Structure 1
């Protein structure tokens, strides 16, 4: 996996803005300043995921992208004490659409909100119709992650969080 860095990600065009050299991104990481790490399979392939680090505001996000540069799965973490807690997981389905990047509208969104007390709220939205459910007593031990060192995102980018 090849990592590149930027200050911001443009969701509409599925491209990085304010490109950062690895040393600049590492310095931002050390200071707790925002940056985005973008992963590609190799130098010639499109981005497959991005890690948005915003530790100074208590936030980190991992966004997996599909072959059209659209967000397909988004994990949002909140900093609690000294660890990150997976607070929200949202998946997006685009049906047969081949629209690129942020120009595509999801036909289906499914999100899960987790609390440290073991409550989960599920929301499914399909073509503007929404359904919700909630459960208690869920084991959320796998929702916790250490704040990663710069470039060591393996724990954070685990797709299977069960």
Structure 2
């Protein structure tokens, strides 16, 4: 797995901003400040992670560099992260226009809210329920070791 580091992923332009050295990214990791990890390549990553001491966002990109799955992990203890939000989007053909999306909001007590939106014509719905969230926990990553967080399929 090839990793590259940068300040951020510019979503609108679908490109990295300020490609960084591993040393600069490692310093951010050590200090708990925000940095971005590109997986695969700088120009066409398969996914990217936005990493901070108490938060990790993971966005999976399709062939058009559009975010089709996004996971948001937040600190649940000094060593652990909890998957709080998972979003799936579908697009209109090869455009960047979102056709529909679903977002799952997880609570550590098992509470779940699912928000679905369709955009043409626009309509939305929300449902609530419970989920087994045992697999929503991940260890905070050591620098360079993001394998557990970049699993697209999560139970």
Q: TM-score range by the shorter chain?
A: over 0.9
Gaps of 5+ in 2: none
State how far apart, in whole Å, the 2-side matches of 1:157 and 1:46 are. 16
Q: Secondary structure at the match of 1:23?
A: helix
2:103 to 81, 99, 111: 111
Gaps of 5+ in 1: none
The alpha carbon displacement at 1:95 in A equals 3.0
State how far apart, in whole Å, the 2-side matches of 1:157 and 1:133 are. 27
1:61 to 51, 57, 60: 57
State how far apart, in whole Å, the 1-side matches of 2:125 and 2:116 are. 5
Q: Secondary structure at the match of 1:47?
A: coil
Residue of structure 2 in register with 1:50 after alignment: 48
Q: Where in structure 2 are the equivalents of 1:8-157 lying within 5 Å?
A: 8-40=8-40, 46-55=44-53, 58-82=54-78, 83-96=80-93, 98-99=94-95, 104-127=96-119, 128-136=122-130, 138-157=131-150
State how far apart, in whole Å, the 2-side matches of 1:27 and 1:54 are. 12
Q: Which runs of 4+ in 1 moved over 2 A?
A: none
User: Deviations along 1:75-132, whole A, 9 cap, x unmatched?
Assistant: 0011122211000000110031x13xxxx22110111000000011111101121011
Give the aligned CA root-mean-square deviation in angstroms: 1.3
State how far apart, in whole Å, the 2-side matches of 1:7 and 1:122 are. 31
